[in-house]
Amino acid sequence: MAQDLFRRFSNQPAPRPTTEPGSKPPGEESGPDKAKVKTAVSEGEVMSAIDKVPPMPAVVQSLLKQMGNQQSSTSDFEDLIRQDMVIAGRLLKLVNSPFYNLSNPVASLSQAVTLCGLSSLRALVLASSTANLMNLDLSAYGFAEKGLWKNSFATAALAKAVAQESKAGPQCEEEWFVAALLRDVGMLVLGPFLAKADIKLRADPDRAEIDILRRERQVLGYDHCWVGERIGERWKLPEPLRLCIARHHRIPTDVSASTMRQLAAVRIAERIGYAAGIGLLKDHPFDAHIDGMLIHAAGLNAESFSQLMKRVPAVVSSSEMPL
């Protein structure tokens, strides 16, 4: 699979990074659009649904504030996790899963930190705390059973691999993992509205791809990036993370080089996941095209992208575990 994917994606030029073809100008990437909407939901309905999304656990909020902080200590991490033994148990389950493929079982948080590293475990805490939330039926979007969770976790693992292959550093490995994991959280709110209206977003046989954000706005008046950003505000997520949730489908030019790189990395990971069909029905509507612009913007070149694609089967396989 890796070589097939690489052949598909690698024959593209690598121009200067800019907005993706067909994207809107900065500031117009996503949001409410009541024009020409047939099945629009009201702002009150959407905001009420956003308010009903379960809050992020206090432990996770504290860890997100530590993300990227090189001064945080192992003891600080352990003290926080011990405040929520459900999260601690899920974390140890993830550490002992094929994701890390450890030779001996890990029985304690201290041992987990020693073997896996503090930044990796902070990201996994977030994953373990969102697994149940993401198990919502989203077949309206073309996801299979538990598909959003499977796709999100695999995409997060792939984003971490992009960081590794592009030599972005441990901090980016953690931040890109989390950004990829949460990128589609807005679908949790819009999915039930689609289902209630008996609308299924699917691939169009007459078109190579569909604009998923435009399609959402056509039928609902809102898209999952705009809604996801609102959820991020409610969860008090760090601003760079909210930006990635809001802009990962249409990368703007009015951002810093580091933000551009993160957005491109998440987009590459997402599209590899789509190409592999992770958590998706066969007629899902998502675009799997990767061009040279994205590769270049993520800090990859032909050689490092080739190495990334060789790793895809192993990364995807290791991310296939229930919680």
CATH number of 2-56+136-318: 1.10.3210
- Average pLDDT on 2-30 reads 40
- Average pLDDT on 100-129 reads 86
pTM of the model: 0.85
**Distance separating alpha carbons of residues 21 and 293, to the nearest angstrom:** 10
What integer pLDDT is reported at residue 57 of this predicted model? 86
* Tens digits of residue pLDDT in 138-197: 999 999 999 999 999 999 999 999 999 999 998 899 999 999 999 999 999 999 999 999
Percent of the chain with pLDDT over 90: 55
What integer pLDDT is reported at residue 9 of this predicted model? 43
- Cα–chain center distance at 270: 7
Q: When comparing pLDDT for 65 and 266, which is higher?
A: 266
The answer to whether residue 26 scores a pLDDT higher than 80 is no
* Tens digits of residue pLDDT in 45-58: 999 999 999 998 88
- Average pLDDT on 206-211 reads 74
Domain range summary for the chain, segments of one domain joined by +: 2-56+136-318
